[in-house]
Amino acid sequence: MGRLHTHNHGKSHSIRPIDLKKPDWIKQSSTEIEEMIVKYAKEGMTTSQIGIKLRDQHAIPLVKPIINKTISQVLKENKLVSEIPEDLNNIVLKAVNLQKHLKDNKGDSRNVRSLELIEAKVHRLSTHYKKEGILPKKWKYKSVVAQLE
């Protein structure tokens, strides 16, 4: 999704663990890990930020093989899920920032096109989430409303 409108083939990313079994070095129980996830979510962290913090500070490479649930499932059980999914929210914020830039720099015609592409991603993702039932059917992206949020 991220490289949809570009010509390059960026493949720089972290590599997920090969084995999907609980590593030997993890001493925390599954309830302790769930409590950490809930604590970090209450601090305002997103699911990806929680995963990165667990990986970097607590040496937990993947949560799912250990507790048999994903981070988002744990957040759903504790009613800590945001109303808009994280990836859609990030793209909306990107569009809002680009709109602010274009308001200040009216001659920047190259970024007018990139704003169109970003908004196309927003609409495509929102239709997917509406079909899945994650977003309400009446949810609609409006650039003016997005700027106010």
pLDDT in tens, the chain (149 residues): 446 777 766 667 777 777 788 888 888 899 999 999 999 999 999 999 999 999 999 999 889 999 999 999 999 999 998 888 999 999 999 999 999 999 999 888 899 999 999 999 999 999 999 999 989 898 888 876 665 45
Please say whether the dihedral angle defined by the alpha carbons of residues 66, 69, 70 and 74, taken in this order, is positive or negative. negative
**Phi, psi of 80, rounded to the nearest 5 degrees:** -115, 15
Please say whether the dihedral angle defined by the alpha carbons of residues 129, 131, 135 and 139, taken in this order, is positive or negative. positive
Contact 87, 137 (CB under 8 A): no
Contact 83, 134 (CB under 8 A): no
Tell whether pTM > 0.85: no
